[in-house]
Structure formats: C-alpha cells, structure tokens
Structure 1
C-alpha cells in the first residue's frame, strides 16, 4: 500500500496534534487537548477547532459514531516527515544533504551509538548503490 502523502504542509500546531495521533492512535479531542496542555496552556475549543480544520484539510479522519468524536491521522508519519524534510532541505540547504548532515552533526555532541548507526546506514546505502 502506498503511503498517503499530506495534501499540503501541516502548520506547527497541526504537526503537534498529528504527532500525538501517530503515537497514541485514534483519540478524542479531550485526550489530545489534555496531552497538549502538558506543555502549554491550550483551550479545549481551540483544540477542537484546529482538529475540525485538520479534518477539512484531509490531515485527520473523524469517527462520529459515539458521543465523543474520535480522530485518527489520515496521513502517514513517514510520508509527512519525508515531505517536510525534502522541503526543508531544498529551502534551507539548497538541496544539499551533505550540508544538512554537516550542520546537524556540527551543532551538538553525537554519541558513539548514533555515529555507529550512521555508519551502518551509510554502509547500507553504499551497498544499494552498487
């Protein structure tokens, strides 16, 4: 099955909600609002309105069978990440993956485990290129 790609770029607030839905699965507005409120004060009606807008945009699907509507992500996490990363790479690093990686690795301490995982990924990519 092909991954469903977002029709357009989610806003930062929409992405926060999508991340909760990807992590926790189908959820009520109350649950999403409670989770968002752990990090910043967020009103229930604000969360509800945002999720209604996300439904109109096709980012989430809504099950209206019960008293409380249950929302689930309608777009795939990996497809969304790829789209956002591609756009970020093009606009910020003029399409250069090397510049992106150099900046990311140069800005913080990278653990030995992370470096080993990067080496393994590079080895796999090198093997696929042959």
Structure 2
C-alpha cells in the first residue's frame, strides 16, 4: 500500500498571517515579512516576526536559506496543500465530516452575491457527462 505524503503541520493564526505574506511575495527576509505585515497589523514588532519565523522553521512550515547575512524564508508547503489540510480538519471537527454542512454554513451570510454567482458558474462548468441536469449523478 503506497504511503501518502506527510500532512503539513498546523499553523497558528499568527503563523498563517506570515505564510500569507510569504505566499504573496515569495521568499523573504524577516524584515520584508515585517514590512508587508505592518499594513494589516501595525502593532507587530520585528523581533516577534523573526521569532515566529524561527518557530515556523522548526515546525517545518518554512524553509530557511542561511547563505546570506539576512536569512531568507520561503513556504515549505504550497498554499493549496496547507489549505486542504486545514479544511479537512475543520470539516471533521466542526461539521462532523460533512462537506455539505460546511458549504451551507459558508453560503449563509459569508458569501457576497458576486461570489455566489461565481460559485454557480464554477459548479455548472464542473458538471461532467456522467452528471445529468440539476447536478445529480446517475447510478
């Protein structure tokens, strides 16, 4: 039986903030991450960002290039892989394993009209020949 790839570690909310910056701008020094993060969190201190990046490196959330004086940090996992891992955990813990319950909760007040229209379009595009009208699969 083939082994599946190890699941990415679970980041804290603060670690996710730093990962979002790194995913957006690519490999960055602690100073660059701090500067980008200041726009949304002006109270965050440079030393806090550096310490978090060091912890994240230890957890395997980021990789560190130590070849330059200022270490450069990059995400160790693709955004999609980490999001999928966190979403799987959320569905299991909060929605008793039901993806449908998650989607219904998300649609109830968390989705704009424009996003709802885009979701409809994506669902229509994803229908396959094995799918009949109304999106129900035939047995």
Q: How would you bin the TM-score normalised by the shorter chain?
A: 0.7 to 0.9
8 Å CA contact 1:59, 1:74 repeated in 2? yes
1:28 counterpart residue number = 29
Larger radius of gyration: 2
Secondary structure of 1:20's counterpart equals: helix
Q: Distance in 2 between matches of 1:120 and 1:3?
A: 32
- Displacement of 1:95 in angstroms is 1.5
Is 1:22–1:77's contact at 8 Å kept on the other side of the alignment? yes
Tell me, yes or no, if the aligned pair for 1:4 and 1:76 is still in contact at 8 Å: no
Structure-2 separation of matches of 1:51 and 1:129: 47
Segments of structure 2 that go 5 or more residues without pairing to the other structure are 132-139
Partner of 1:105: 107
Aligned ranges 1:14-25 → 2 under 5 Å: 14-25=15-26
- TM-score norm. by structure 1 comes to 0.85
Larger RCO: Structure 1 or Structure 2 (Cα < 8 Å, ≥ 6 residues apart)? Answer: 1
RMSD: 2.3
Cα distance change on mapping 1:115 and 1:37 into 2, 3 Å: closer
Aligned to 1:68: 70
Deviation of 1:80 after TM superposition, in Å, equals: 0.4
Contact 1:5 1:75 (C-alpha < 8 Å) held by counterparts:
no
Give the aligned length: 127
- Provide the residue aligned with 2:119 in structure 1: 118
Unpaired segments ≥5 residues, structure 1: none
Q: What TM-score do the two structures reach when normalised by structure 2?
A: 0.80
